[in-house]
């Protein structure tokens, strides 16, 4: 039985030499997880109908690639009522938003996505600003990745 040691050859081009055996080549492939655990966001929705309506909600949005999605809970009555799916495209964002209690088909909004250019260990804000002709939605979080 041969013992295997891993070393870097000075001036060499390959990492890994097996003592008394063939060369050992290691490859490390990092794959992004298909869906990260939910991240806490805060939402404000301002809608123009017969009167201005303001709603606030909080909850986790799961990220899968460039898509954030989830159902947020109303801060006033505690009901899970705001379903949102946001596709991030660089600094641009497109979303579908529904009030679950109204059983509507949802509405499409577009806007912007920003993340702090120089986040710190304790301060790394993200903001999404979305709107259409009758509704504004702002989402924000200031929770740093572990």
Domain 39-141 annotated CATH 1.10.287? no
| Residue 124 tokens, joined | 């790394």
User: How does pLDDT run across 34-43, given as a tens digit for each residue?
Assistant: 334 678 999 9
pLDDT > 70: percent of the chain: 71
User: How does pLDDT run across 44-98, given as a tens digit for each residue?
Assistant: 999 998 999 999 999 999 999 999 999 999 999 999 999 999 999 999 999 999 9
Burial degree of 31 (CB within 10 A; 0-12, 13-18, 19+): exposed
Question: pTM of the entire structure?
Answer: 0.69
Question: What confidence score (pLDDT) does residue 37 get?
Answer: 60
- 135 pLDDT band, cuts 50/70/90, is very high
Q: What average pLDDT score do residues 15-30 get?
A: 34
């Amino acid at each position: 039985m041969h013992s295997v040691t891993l070393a870097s050859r000075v001036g060499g081009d390959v990492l890994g030499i097996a003592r008394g055996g063939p060369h050992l080549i290691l490859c490390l492939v990092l794959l992004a997880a298909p869906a990260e655990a939910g991240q806490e966001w805060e939402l404000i929705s301002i809608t123009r109908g017969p009167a201005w309506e303001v709603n606030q909600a909080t909850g986790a949005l799961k990220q899968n690639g460039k898509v954030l999605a989830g159902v947020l809970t109303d801060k006033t009555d505690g009901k899970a009522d705001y379903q949102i799916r946001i596709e991030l495209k660089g600094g641009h964002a497109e979303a579908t938003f529904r009030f679950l209690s109204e059983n509507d088909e949802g509405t499409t909004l577009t806007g912007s996505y920003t993340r702090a250019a120089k986040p710190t260990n304790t301060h790394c804000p993200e903001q999404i600003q979305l709107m259409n002709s009758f509704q504004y939605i702002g989402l924000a979080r200031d929770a740093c990745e572990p």
